[in-house]
Amino acid sequence: MIRREKVRAIIVSRKSVGEADRLVTLFTRSRGVLKVMAKGVRRIPSRRGGYLEPLTEGLCLITANASFATHGRSYLAAVEPLTAFGGLHDNETALEAGLVLAQAVVHLCEEGQAYETVFDGLHQALTMLPELSAPRQRILETALVLHILQRTGFAPHLAACQVCGQTRPSEAVVLDGGSGGWRCLVCHDSFAGTSWSLPPRLLRATQWLAHNPERALRLKVDLPEAEQLVLGVRRYLAQVIGAPLAPAVTTYARA
């Protein structure tokens, strides 16, 4: 038996397989991450291939043979383009933020799990990012990464130092994915990661964003603070997923 299903999805990644195929990772609102095989899309010409760019949205027809379904093998039969997020792909810093968010989704969200608020937040971010100022781009990315971490069970504990329990640090702290929260510099006991440390003001900003992602753009920070904030959260994300961020993602120059 052939099982067919239409899903609205954001393409978050793709990987070439063999000579003509691609393994495409879709992110859906009600079923989370879906990995589907797109047969023959690298052949020229292929109408589907042009509709499978990362960070675009499409209406996808998924098919699965009953004998394959138990092994999770599904195929992309057709795709109808919905949203290209053209402004995103023409804006380097917006695209960089989108790639970070896509990687968070790929590594942390599960198949078969509903992620309505994450999907809606990602869709809104991909639409809004090109229109935002540089500081607000960083703030929106930070807020959505924190929300993805929270929805997938990897939220950092931000109330106190994970070693000494201090709640009001007078100096900078380091977000640490290994301990699941932040450490004050005394307890961090290493120079590693201190270049991504957050002063008390930005720690409070992180705490506020974690609890108020829908109000993220009300936060007032300048560009150097916004860059410091997003770098600290990116480092935490990379430690949680156990992999460096995508090669296409660069870090901002630091004075």
Q: Which of 51, 84, 117 is the last residue of a domain?
A: 84
* Rounded distance between C-alpha atoms, residue 231 and residue 103, angstroms: 15
Structure tokens at 142: 């930070």
Q: How far apart are CA 105 and CA 119, in angstroms?
A: 9
Domain count for the chain, please give it: 2
Output the tens digit of pLDDT for each of the chain's 255 residues: 668 889 999 999 988 877 778 889 999 999 999 999 888 776 655 555 557 889 999 999 998 865 544 445 788 888 899 999 989 999 999 999 999 999 999 999 998 899 999 999 999 999 999 999 999 999 999 999 999 999 999 999 999 999 999 999 999 999 999 999 999 988 887 766 677 899 999 999 999 999 999 999 999 999 999 999 999 999 999 999 998 876 555 444 332
pTM, entire model: 0.89
Does residue 253 lie within any of the structural domains?
Answer: no
Residue ending a domain, choose from 60, 84, 108? 84
CA-to-CA separations, 104 to 63, 129, 144, 238, 243, in angstroms, rounded: 26, 17, 10, 9, 11
Residues 6 or more apart in contact with residue 133 via CB below 8 angstroms: none
Smallest Cα–Cα separation from 158: which of 176, 190, 182? 182
Distance CA 124, CA 144 (A): 10
Bridge partner residues of 83 (DSSP): 57
Angle between helices 92-108 and 116-128 (to 10 degrees): 170
Asked if residue 202 and residue 121 are part of one domain, the reply reads: yes
Domain assignment of residue 210, given as a range:
92-241
- Please give the angle made by the CA atoms of 171, 237 and 137, to the nearest 5 degrees: 80
Cβ atoms of 10 and 119 within 8 Å: the answer is: yes
Same domain, 24 and 102: no
